[in-house]
Amino acid sequence: MQPLNLWSTRVARPSNTLLGLRGAASPRAIVRRAAFAGAIAISLGVSGCALPTRAVRPTGGDRVVVVVSGTANEPRPTVTDTVRAVLRDAANSGNVSQQGSGKSSVVLVSAADGGDQRSIVLTPRRADGSLEHGLSRPALIDRNVTSAVDAIGATVAHKSGLDLLAGIADAVRGVPAGTLVVQSSGLSTGGAFDLRQVGWAADPAAIAARLAAAGQVPRLDGWRVLFAGLGSVAGAQPPLPSPARDRLAAYWQAICRAAGAATCDVDQSRIPAEPSRATVATPVVPVPGVTSVTGPRGEVTTTVSDTALGFAGDSAVLSESARDLLRSLAGSITAGGSEAPVTVRGFAADPPGSTDAGRRELAEQRARAVAGALTEAGVTQRADASGTGTQPGVTAMTGGRFDETAAARMRRVEITYQGPGPSS
């Protein structure tokens, strides 16, 4: 995974090329160019500044495009310190004009499903449109950045499913190159890159090459791309183990490079576990070793396999990657807002020589380890841990032989908690 590059010492140079998918500019592309080239007085009013005496028409300046997925399976979009630094750097950019009729740095916040769109001026200006250099400058920058942050947080999906490739292409179409922030879990469930079809074992470079050959990647020539929130989930979407998170980042970085971007970075900051504001259900992407099922009263049962938990034989010590997964799950539990107890049940296999009592003890130790990790990760509800041992009527012994594949299915921990749905 590439290290994060904040590009704070570089000044974006506007490109003379209009970027987008192959083909002529769409009517929406014309609207997007107009969002940067006109009607900026409205954005200044939204940011809290007095309206200038004439319309501000920036013809250049730094451009930041933020495409937000905001689905029901993601936490409410939250701006990390890294993304906030990108916005602040643009607001402080010297690539502007003294008078309001010239260059200004602008951020365009766009929903990935083609819904909400807002344009906000980041450059601090006085009421007459001239550049603010005085004592009011820091306050104006704070206010403009806050307006952008609020716009990002308020963006929600209005369609089922997520075609993130199309959302990225639509967001940059008709906009000269600048910085693109992809605020999304990255769990695309539609279009040419549907993770439900791709799975978690494909080669990222091969996937990116195939998409590029089919003309399915956006044109990102010259763009500096930052992915934020990859793998952050909520609602019905199971949390991602560390290997799946790493593969997800590798997929998107490979696609980004195939699209011709200047840089393709990933912000590793965790997104706070705030409940999603989206109300339209979106498909779930299956995750290796983790499944979640929601009951009729909103209760969620997440089953984590032994492979995802990383327990060694006869051990109840969690791997670090398992603790990372449980931190994600803890966020989903706390986001539900319920004070109902969390139930953690451990299950074990029945290898030759094991006893019922020994299997129950091991299963309970593992359940307690999981419950303890959830509490450490911020779950305040009471966690009731117990060990079932071997599930009644289930065995890994087949024809007198021990079936390791069947045993792997038996070794698991089930975590049940009250989700954001209706409670009993």
pTM score, whole prediction:
0.80
Same domain, 379 and 335: yes
User: Which residues 6+ apart lie within 8 Å of 204 measured at CB?
Assistant: 247, 250, 251, 253, 254, 255
Same domain, 310 and 197: no
Instruction: Look up the domain containing 52 and give its range.
Output: 27-267
Residue 152 lies in a domain: yes
Position 79 pLDDT exceeds 90: yes
Same domain, 237 and 294: no
In degrees and rounded to multiples of 5, residue 144 shows phi and psi of -70, -40
Same domain, 79 and 208: yes
d(CA 389, CA 363): 5
Residue 6 lies in a domain: no
Same domain, 263 and 125: yes
Same domain, 122 and 225: yes
Extract the tokens encoding 384: 């009731």
**Domain total in the chain:** 2
pLDDT digits (tens, 9 = 90+) for 91-148: 999 888 887 667 899 999 999 998 778 999 999 999 888 898 999 999 999 999 999 9
pLDDT digits (tens, 9 = 90+) for 368-380: 999 999 999 999 9
Same domain, 235 and 102: yes
In the prediction, which pLDDT does 59 show? 47
CA 278 to chain centroid: 14
**CATH number of the domain residue 155 falls in:** 3.40.50
Residue 155 lies in a domain: yes
d(CA 178, CA 193): 24
d(CA 385, CA 12): 54
The percentage of residues in the chain with a pLDDT greater than 70, rounded to a whole number, is 84
Kindly list the distances between the CA atom of residue 202 and the CA atoms of 18, 193, 259, 264, 391, in Å, as whole numbers in the listed order: 33, 12, 19, 20, 34
Same domain, 245 and 301: no
Closest CA to 285 of 85, 122, 73, 119: 73
pLDDT digits (tens, 9 = 90+) for 278-310: 989 899 999 988 998 888 888 899 999 988 888
d(CA 36, CA 56): 10
Position 23 pLDDT exceeds 60: no
Residue 18 lies in a domain: no
* Mean pLDDT confidence for 169-181: 94
Q: What is the 3-state secondary structure (H, E, C) of 37-96?
A: HCCHHHHHHHCCCCCCCCCCCCCCCCEEEEEECCCCCCCCCCCCHHHHHHHHHHHCCCCC
C-beta neighbour count of 82 within 10 angstroms? 17
Under DSSP, the state recorded for 151 is: H
Same domain, 252 and 330: no
Residue 10 lies in a domain: no
Residue 351 lies in a domain: yes
Same domain, 43 and 185: yes
Residue 284 lies in a domain: no
**CATH number of the domain residue 392 falls in:** 3.30.1330.60
Extract the tokens encoding 25: 């500019």
Same domain, 132 and 241: yes
Same domain, 52 and 183: yes
pLDDT digits (tens, 9 = 90+) for 324-363: 899 889 988 887 778 899 999 999 988 888 899 999 999 9
Q: Which residues of 92-101 are buried (b: 16+ CB within 10 A; e: fewer)?
A: bbebbbeebb
Of 267, 300, 322, which residue constitutes the final position of a domain? 267
Residue 232 lies in a domain: yes
